[in-house]
Structure 1
Amino acid sequence: MSIFQKVKKNVGSLMLIIVFSKLIGMFRDVVLANCFGTSNVSDAYLIAISVPTLIFYFIGHSLSTAYIPMYNKIKSTKGETKAHDYTNIIISIAMVICTIIVIILLISPDFMVKLFAAGFDDATTNIASYYIRVSAFSLYFMTLVNVYGSYLQIYENFVVPAMVSVPRNIVIILSIIFAYYFGIEFLGWGILFAYVAEFIFLLPFVRRSGYKFKIKINIKDEEVIETFRIITPILIGVSVGQINKIIDKSLASILIIGGVSALSYASIINNAVQEVLVTGIITILFASCSELVAQGKHLEVKKKLSNTIDTMICLLIPASIGVIFLAEPIVKVILGRGNFDGNSIALTMSALRCYTIGLVFLAIRDTIVKVFYAYKNTKITTIISTTAIGINIVFNIILSQIWGINGLALATSISAIFSCVTLYYFLRKKIGDFNLVNTLVVSIKSISCSVLMGLVVIFLFRIIETFSSTVIALIISVSIGILIYFILSVLFRVPLALNWVRKITKRI
């Protein structure tokens, strides 16, 4: 079976798993919003859950990004046994680094809270500090799950790594319910046991593949040295991105009580759209491009990248327009119950609109970054990421003074647009043109179809809502909107829509 066929075979299953996982994740957020709304408890919890997660990106994300292409290289040149030894060394070193960070979190959680949320009062700081202490050990399990997930992806198992969020979210949901009825301290324990559940879920599949972990530290190993050479600029780039999130949350904590929660909820909804529609595509693209680059098939890399970007444009532009037009009912339907009152809805929907402006650019940026990583070229991505954080900080300060937390969300979108355009330019300069003209044509057609669809959808929604509930009005108008967009895309001769027509015609 060819690489393309293997990838194509995995996309359908992966997309279904991601949709299911995101539904569970959305239900988790609904439970949190229902129980604690946009309060100081939810602010403290969201900061506490962010600390190990963001720190994890410094280790786990950087390692996994360098790990996949390096493992493929070792396996093809020195065999699977040597590749397993390399995996053991990487994990062992990562565990040592995690231990150092865990000790810091246990000793000085108050400092971490003030770093992430400078505007918290003493009561909220104490709550967040307790959560951080309790959940600090989750860093070990996050890192192991990330490396093991990357290992399974190398062997074309994309479905299991995509499912790990299901047991995690189930545990978090239970902890939120326990915290609501029996005491807020359960929220902190929920963070820890959620990531333990991920690890327990993933471990049997890793063992079944034939890999067994053994402690092995060899910092002089040539592949490990090369890995850390690749990781260093990735680490800087990732750190820059996480600093961006820290600044957003810290400013939000100063601007208004519940600002951290409102930004987080808006970001969660925005990210859910991207993850459901494109995360599976990006995951498989990186794995396949890493293999294609190793085989020297650069024309196939460009073709696959061009098709991926065009697909994202066709999926995300109408989704973005839909979210912007229907932000209020979307937030109301998903979160608007219990302690999530009208003020919470207003804060969240405004931030959601501002985040959504950068949704397409964010997805394309992440895609291009993965291709750079497949080529083991991390210098350019680091420089651009560093510049983007500077732009984001400037716009954060300016726009937050004008529009509050909406300005913070808009600054994030502006930063994403800059990163996307700049990275596209430099990748095109490195590997040659990957059908820019066609991408621009697809973009113009998709925007035209999406705006027409959006106008019809908001008109239909307002009519249907007058004699029906918000949920039913939203479901009907969105369903009709999808059909309208598809019909318009066919009339405008958008390639993705025409491909679907050919498939449907062929089946009939």
Structure 2
Amino acid sequence: MKKAIGQILSGNMLSKALGLLREILMAKFFGTGDINGAYRIAQTGTLVPINFMTSDSLNSAFIPLYKKYLAEDEQRAAVFKYCMFLFFSVVSILIFSILYFQSEYWVKLMAPGISESAREMSVSLLKVMAVCCPFYLCSGLVNYISMAHGDYKPMSMRASAQNVGMVLGVVAAFYSGNYLYLAWGFTGSYVFFSFWVVFRAFKGEILNFPIRLETKEVKLVMSNFWITLRPLLILPLILQGNITLERALASLISIDVVSALDYARFITDTVVFILSVPIAFAGLSEWASQTPEQVREKIIKIYYWLALLVINMSFFIFLSARDIVIFLFMRGEFNEQSVMATTHIIQGMSIGLWAQVVGYIFIKALSAHLNNRKVLVVMVFSLLSNAIVNVLTYKIWGAFGLGIGNAIYGIVMFLVSAWYLKIARSLYPVIIQISAGIVIYFCVYRFIGGYFNESTSAMLRLLVNGMVFFLFAFLWAMLFPFYRQGVIKVMTRKRLR
């Protein structure tokens, strides 16, 4: 599991570095104006139907079942694999046709509040991005197959390949004056990546054809897959519907908020990708072969240390949101209005960011034992809470309301999944201990009026504020025996080496 986590983590770190470069260039060249907003709308319009097929619901159903077939009967696993390829091929052609020929209607549905010029640009970009559908879906399925065989490199490299293509697209769009290169950068990355992963899979002999393809066997594997997937089928519909609603509400606030939403999400998603995705995906394969008691024990140990990190990190992001946005994005076309919109969304999101990081791992722990009905309940409650809060608050709080909705999503997911795992009582003391330290720090920080005034550079404020806060957080954690003993054990092992 450590090797798998290392592969995914290294890939995520590279992808986020490239993603940061992409967002910096987008902010500098296009700010949060019509071109950027149109690009974000077109990308969401492409990914919503695609992610319906490549969502966590699918991998949570496919990977454990495919691994079960591999252990029992490799012939059956091969039949299952190629049935899924055929299914994905048909669906990808259908999605491409809908996106390409119904692009104008789809854009109007997703972004009712944008101007006519922004709408026309969104439609043009969406038509180009629709071309990537077969390549995106094909590479996604090969990624799941590779993970089931213990190869996590394709999964770890997917986002990096996407970001390289998008960086090239941003640069080409700006210097050529043709915004369509933004879309071709996205599409081209998946064309290249799909060829690479298929070649790698054939080379690794994990795409072997079934010796025979019998109707009886096909019916059996697809029936089992349907039974496993059925409880989760509504989940991607609700998830992608929630994303579409969020984008539509953002467009009703302003075109700046449409782009600001993605800048804010890049920062919060980076935390989730780096901290929870490697553990969750590695655990999905490893935990499937362990008893629920063993999984609970491991999850609680992971939680104690992860909670210490992410609760403090979420607070620091909330406290320093404006400085983070200024430091990362405020240059070129990214003006004060862009900073304000992005800051408000980040502050709202960071309130529940810690819960989203931990809750994501809890969800995968449930999926590992095919508890998909429970996963469905968790996600439905979480997403509906998100949607309701967004609808109720976007007119009152604007961009901050969208961030709060996302925070509620994380908190509900954390609470309900912990209850299903029967570990909730073990989690609350840690939250109370860490939160008490945060409250004390915040009161002192506000009393002294911060360490700097606005004339100081954002980078210096972030550096000093970060050092002071995390030193305080470390010292506060040392007041509690679990963390103190853990640090002593680590230091003792290093001395022995």
TM-score (norm 1): 0.89
The residue that corresponds to 1:191 in the other structure is 186
The residue that corresponds to 1:76 in the other structure is 71
Map residues 169-180 of structure 1 onto 2, 5 A cutoff: 169-180=163-174
Per-residue Cα deviation, 1:449-502 (whole angstroms, up to 9, x for no partner): 44455677889995467786322332343244333322321222344x642431
Question: Shift of residue 48 of structure 1?
Answer: 0.9
Alignment-mate amino acid for residue 273 of structure 1: V
Matched, 1:484 2:452: no
Question: Shift of residue 359 of structure 1?
Answer: 1.0
Task: Check the 8 A contact 1:461/1:477 in 2, yes or no.
Answer: no
Per-residue Cα deviation, 1:19-44 (whole angstroms, up to 9, x for no partner): 23212111111111111111111111
The residue that corresponds to 1:203 in the other structure is 198
Per-residue Cα deviation, 1:378-433 (whole angstroms, up to 9, x for no partner): 223324433444433332222112111211221222233223322322332xxxxx
The residue that corresponds to 2:84 in the other structure is 90
Cα distance in 2 for partners of 1:164, 1:34 equals 25
Question: Shift of residue 444 of structure 1?
Answer: 1.7
Q: 2:279 aligns with which of 278, 281, 290?
A: 281
Question: Shift of residue 115 of structure 1?
Answer: 1.8
Task: Check the 8 A contact 1:138/1:195 in 2, yes or no.
Answer: yes
The residue that corresponds to 1:105 in the other structure is 99
Q: 2:270 aligns with which of 266, 269, 272?
A: 272
Task: Check the 8 A contact 2:356/2:409 in 1, yes or no.
Answer: no
The residue that corresponds to 1:234 in the other structure is 232
> Could you say if the C-alpha distance between residues 500 and 96 of structure 1 is closer, same or farther in structure 2, counting changes exceeding 3 Å?
farther
The residue that corresponds to 1:223 in the other structure is 221
The residue that corresponds to 2:312 in the other structure is 318
The residue that corresponds to 1:24 in the other structure is 18
> Could you say if the C-alpha distance between residues 445 and 286 of structure 1 is closer, same or farther in structure 2, counting changes exceeding 3 Å?
same
Question: Shift of residue 116 of structure 1?
Answer: 1.4
The residue that corresponds to 1:431 in the other structure is none
> Could you say if the C-alpha distance between residues 506 and 387 of structure 1 is closer, same or farther in structure 2, counting changes exceeding 3 Å?
closer
Per-residue Cα deviation, 1:366-386 (whole angstroms, up to 9, x for no partner): 222222222222223324433
The residue that corresponds to 1:4 in the other structure is none
Cα distance in 2 for partners of 1:227, 1:365 equals 25
> Could you say if the C-alpha distance between residues 468 and 394 of structure 1 is closer, same or farther in structure 2, counting changes exceeding 3 Å?
closer
| 59-68 or 243-252, which deviates more | 59-68
Per-residue Cα deviation, 1:45-94 (whole angstroms, up to 9, x for no partner): 01111122221221112332211101111011113x43233211112111
The residue that corresponds to 2:245 in the other structure is 247
Point out where structure 1 has 5 or more consecutive residues left out of the alignment: 1-6, 429-433
Cα distance in 2 for partners of 1:494, 1:19 equals 29
Cα distance in 2 for partners of 1:147, 1:457 equals 49
> Could you say if the C-alpha distance between residues 203 and 315 of structure 1 is closer, same or farther in structure 2, counting changes exceeding 3 Å?
farther
Matched, 1:46 2:33: no
Matched, 1:395 2:389: yes
Cα distance in 1 for partners of 2:289, 2:334 equals 47
> Could you say if the C-alpha distance between residues 383 and 264 of structure 1 is closer, same or farther in structure 2, counting changes exceeding 3 Å?
same
Task: Check the 8 A contact 1:454/1:481 in 2, yes or no.
Answer: no
The residue that corresponds to 2:152 in the other structure is 158
Alignment-mate amino acid for residue 192 of structure 2: A
The residue that corresponds to 2:133 in the other structure is 139
Per-residue Cα deviation, 1:150-206 (whole angstroms, up to 9, x for no partner): 222223223442122112101101101111121111112112112223323433432
Point out where structure 2 has 5 or more consecutive residues left out of the alignment: none
> SS at the partner of 2:255?
coil
Q: 2:431 aligns with which of 439, 443, 451?
A: 443
Map residues 343-354 of structure 1 onto 2, 5 A cutoff: 343-354=337-348
Per-residue Cα deviation, 1:103-132 (whole angstroms, up to 9, x for no partner): 111110011111211112221111111111
The residue that corresponds to 2:31 in the other structure is 37
Cα distance in 2 for partners of 1:449, 1:507 equals 29
User: What fraction of aligned residue pairs are identical, expressed as a percent?
Assistant: 22
Cα distance in 2 for partners of 1:505, 1:457 equals 35
> Could you say if the C-alpha distance between residues 47 and 227 of structure 1 is closer, same or farther in structure 2, counting changes exceeding 3 Å?
same
Alignment-mate amino acid for residue 295 of structure 2: V
> SS at the partner of 2:371?
coil
Alignment-mate amino acid for residue 99 of structure 1: I
Task: Check the 8 A contact 1:446/1:494 in 2, yes or no.
Answer: no
Cα distance in 2 for partners of 1:106, 1:311 equals 47
Task: Check the 8 A contact 2:64/2:368 in 1, yes or no.
Answer: yes
Alignment-mate amino acid for residue 66 of structure 2: Y
The Cα RMSD (Å) is 2.5
Per-residue Cα deviation, 1:258-289 (whole angstroms, up to 9, x for no partner): 11111121111111122122221111121211
Cα distance in 2 for partners of 1:472, 1:203 equals 46
The residue that corresponds to 2:112 in the other structure is 118
Cα distance in 1 for partners of 2:207, 2:448 equals 57
Task: Check the 8 A contact 2:378/2:413 in 1, yes or no.
Answer: yes
Cα distance in 1 for partners of 2:398, 2:444 equals 31
Alignment-mate amino acid for residue 261 of structure 1: S
Aligned residues: 490
The residue that corresponds to 2:398 in the other structure is 404
> Could you say if the C-alpha distance between residues 13 and 490 of structure 1 is closer, same or farther in structure 2, counting changes exceeding 3 Å?
farther
The residue that corresponds to 2:413 in the other structure is 419
| 138-147 or 347-356, which deviates more | 138-147
Question: Shift of residue 352 of structure 1?
Answer: 0.4
Task: Check the 8 A contact 2:275/2:357 in 1, yes or no.
Answer: no
Alignment-mate amino acid for residue 189 of structure 1: W
> Could you say if the C-alpha distance between residues 505 and 13 of structure 1 is closer, same or farther in structure 2, counting changes exceeding 3 Å?
farther
Cα distance in 2 for partners of 1:53, 1:266 equals 18
Task: Check the 8 A contact 2:146/2:206 in 1, yes or no.
Answer: no
Cα distance in 2 for partners of 1:457, 1:14 equals 37
Task: Check the 8 A contact 2:129/2:183 in 1, yes or no.
Answer: yes
Task: Check the 8 A contact 2:85/2:141 in 1, yes or no.
Answer: yes
Alignment-mate amino acid for residue 490 of structure 2: K
Cα distance in 1 for partners of 2:447, 2:494 equals 35
Per-residue Cα deviation, 1:234-254 (whole angstroms, up to 9, x for no partner): 231121111111111101101
Task: Check the 8 A contact 1:64/1:146 in 2, yes or no.
Answer: no
Alignment-mate amino acid for residue 197 of structure 1: F
Alignment-mate amino acid for residue 481 of structure 2: R
The residue that corresponds to 2:321 in the other structure is 327
Alignment-mate amino acid for residue 221 of structure 1: K
Question: Shift of residue 304 of structure 1?
Answer: 1.9
